[in-house]
Amino acid sequence: MQKHIFTLIFILGNILHISFLKLNEVMKIADSFAYLQMAHHFKNFSLEWFGNGWFGFLYSLPIAIADIFIQNDMIATFGVNILLFNLLAWVCYILGRNYLSFKYNVLFIILIFLSPILLNYNIHILSENIYIPLFLILFLWILKYKEVPDFSGSVFLGFMIALLYYTRSEAFIYLGSIGLILFFLFITKKVSFWRVFFNYSTVIISFFIFIFPYIFYLHSFTWEWGITNKGSSNLRQAELRWVSKMDDDGFEQAVWELTSDNKHLIAWFAGWLKYDKPQAWESFKNYLLENPSKVWERIKENQIKLYTNNLPNLILWNANSLYKIEWSKLFYQNPVFFIILIIPILFGLYGMFALVKNGEWYFVWSFISFFATASIFFTLFFVLDRYFVIFVPIFIFFIVYGIENPWKYLKNYLENGKYILTSLLLIWIYNLWTLSYYQTFKWEDAKYEVKKIAGEWLKENDFRTNLRVMERFPVVTYYSWSWERWLTPYTSKLENLVEYAKYHDVHYLVVDSIDFYKYRPDLRFLFDASEKKYNGIEKVQEFEKNGEKVILYRILVDK
């Protein structure tokens, strides 16, 4: 009977997620193109444009395998995403089975499928689809072990973190989390120091053995040894983003500065995103020590942002946007709505306390070890919601555990009907958030549809196998069937843009009202329909739909 109930939940949950795929019928995210690009080459047994250090390749492998059979990369990706979410839900089911009664585990899995933030990543082509279940497998395995692992267990830990690293390079920081967990076992279990040291060393060494082939690959074109080549750009972004809006503006300015000397003409950084050679003044050491007071101020501001903005967004999503309410004014504008929204957070905080009260110190410490590592590392630079989305299933677990283990003074009053009442309340709240998610994103495809049309026009009118399209976000690129991304240079001068395009044999420039108009303000004159030719470029075709415009310019070849 229990298996049938969970089977029904999985079926209905999959139907819900599949029904939301219509929100993402147009490929419109730059990162998505990178994963589809790698999958395309994997499918053709080629390592061309493979793993540039900015995007991990692991997510692209199952997409490539699925695409061999389906012959449609977006449908193949969505199929992979649904399977990966079922893996996530199954791991959550195992986690809940170990700590929750059957009926509360049912509630836990229902909330996992209803979570709008998890739904958001599941219907988009992003590496979180494999990153989250891999992290949950690692976390579940640590919880089941509850002692210092043996040699094989330590190797497995190193292997799991390597898989996470191959998905997102920053995952190497969780080696520190393993160290904190082993230290906890050393203190509480009175295990030999040398045993802990040997096993932790095994974790670290095995991790580097598993990732060494990729590290060597990065070295082959950077001529430097490092765990990632995103360094100098991210350091400069960190200096910019903490004092400005958390959007692409910081990224734009950081990369413009790094390419303002036209070194991108040699390194291909602005186009291929392949190599970002660190500058001396951008070293991590200088970043930390040059102005320590500024670093502490940045950490403080990022910590405040993490706990007042990012984490509430992850747990509560943006239900407030459905009612046009600002978080800072929410209590005064609508105190009842504020109380309803904050209920899950209160249950979650109490759930952590209840675990400690019930002797589950190891669970709480393991969570703190992972979360603290992420919190400290990312607030050194800048924080985004996606850096902490891996913790959302555990947050939901805390919420359900807090409901099942009420405060002793409320236990007698809640005993009768508490499960039905609290379950209905939480499911209603989560449905509210899911509705909010739908209302927020239902028009996104309409905005980008004109870029899809422009790309399909290129595919039908230019049959070059090496077609190169230059644009801010590679939407036209994708629909033109070009598998090379060429990022419009970060420049305010048309002559620099043309120089870059000719140097790399780029064929077309995309000027659009969505991205180019916003991020290349000094080149907005290219929207002037009265001129057909400018220095080095010629207008080919213009497209308009849903209030958005795309103009295709051909790069003129020197005679």
Residue 498 lies in a domain: yes
In this prediction, residues 151-177 reach a mean pLDDT of 93
pLDDT digits (tens, 9 = 90+) for 247-292: 455 566 655 555 544 444 444 443 343 334 444 445 667 777 777 8
**Is the confidence at residue 467, as pLDDT, over 90?**
yes
pTM: 0.89
> How confident is the model at residue 235, as a pLDDT?
64
> How confident is the model at residue 279, as a pLDDT?
44
Q: Which of 434, 451, 551, 468 is closest to 25 using CA atoms?
A: 451
Tokens linked to 504: 């790399």
**Is the confidence at residue 107, as pLDDT, over 60?**
yes
Residue 236 lies in a domain: no
Lowest mean pLDDT among 106-120, 428-442, 460-474: 428-442
In this prediction, residues 361-387 reach a mean pLDDT of 91
Give the C-alpha separation, 249 to 237, whole Å.
9
> How confident is the model at residue 53, as a pLDDT?
60
400 and 104 Cβ atoms separated by less than 8 Å: yes
Q: Which one is predicted more confidently, 95 or 435?
A: 95
DSSP state, residue 246: S
Among residues of the chain, what percentage have pLDDT more than 70? 80
Tokens linked to 356: 């400690």
In this prediction, residues 501-520 reach a mean pLDDT of 88
**Is the confidence at residue 79, as pLDDT, over 70?**
yes
- Give me the half-sphere count of Cα atoms (radius 13 Å) on the Cβ side of residue 312: 16
> How confident is the model at residue 270, as a pLDDT?
39
What is the pLDDT confidence band of residue 425, given thresholds at 50, 70 and 90? confident
> How confident is the model at residue 276, as a pLDDT?
40
pLDDT digits (tens, 9 = 90+) for 304-337: 888 877 887 787 766 545 444 454 555 455 565 6
What is the pLDDT confidence band of residue 486, given thresholds at 50, 70 and 90? confident
Q: Which one is predicted more confidently, 450 or 336?
A: 450
Residue 204 lies in a domain: no
Residue 549 lies in a domain: yes
Residue 486 lies in a domain: yes
**Is the confidence at residue 47, as pLDDT, over 50?**
yes
Give the C-alpha separation, 485 to 543, whole Å.
21
For 504, the 3-state DSSP assignment is coil
What is the pLDDT confidence band of residue 60, given thresholds at 50, 70 and 90? very high
Lowest mean pLDDT among 64-78, 205-219, 246-260, 450-464: 246-260
Tokens linked to 292: 């320590």
Q: Is the dihedral of CA 522, 527, 532, 538 positive or negative?
A: positive
Residue 289 lies in a domain: no
> How confident is the model at residue 553, as a pLDDT?
95
In this prediction, residues 93-120 reach a mean pLDDT of 92
* DSSP sequence for 255-288: HHHHHTTSTHHHH-HHHH----PPPGGG-HHHHH
Give the C-alpha separation, 556 to 559, whole Å.
9
Lowest mean pLDDT among 68-77, 339-348, 463-472, 495-504: 339-348
How many other C-beta atoms lie within 10 A of the C-beta of residue 193? 8
Q: Is the dihedral of CA 536, 542, 544, 547 positive or negative?
A: positive
**Is the confidence at residue 412, as pLDDT, over 80?**
no
**Is the confidence at residue 488, as pLDDT, over 80?**
yes
Q: Which of 277, 160, 131 is closest to 218 using CA atoms?
A: 277
> How confident is the model at residue 262, as a pLDDT?
47
- List Cβ neighbours of 9 (8 Å cut-off, separation of 6 or more): 106, 109, 110, 113
DSSP state, residue 170: G
* DSSP sequence for 9-74: HHHHHHHHHHHGGGGG-S---HHHHHHHHHHHHHHTT--TT---SSS-STTHHHHHHHHHHHS-HH
Q: Which amino acid does the sequence have at 118?
A: L
Residue 8 lies in a domain: no
Give the C-alpha separation, 308 to 486, whole Å.
37
What is the pLDDT confidence band of residue 61, given thresholds at 50, 70 and 90? very high
**Is the confidence at residue 158, as pLDDT, over 80?**
yes
Q: Which of 20-34, 250-264, 396-410, 435-449 holds the top average pLDDT?
A: 20-34
Q: Which one is predicted more confidently, 221 or 31?
A: 31
Residue 33 lies in a domain: no
What integer best gives the mean pLDDT of the chain?
A: 82
In this prediction, residues 370-393 reach a mean pLDDT of 90
**Is the confidence at residue 421, as pLDDT, over 90?**
no
234 and 276 Cβ atoms separated by less than 8 Å: no
Total domain count, the chain: 1
- Per the structure, the complete domain to which residue 471 belongs is given by 444-555
| Whole-Å CA distances, 459 to 35, 74, 553 | 21, 17, 15
Lowest mean pLDDT among 127-136, 181-190, 202-211, 536-545: 181-190
Q: H or E stretch including 537?
A: strand 537-545
Give the phi and the psi of residue 138 in degrees, each rounded to 5: -60, -45
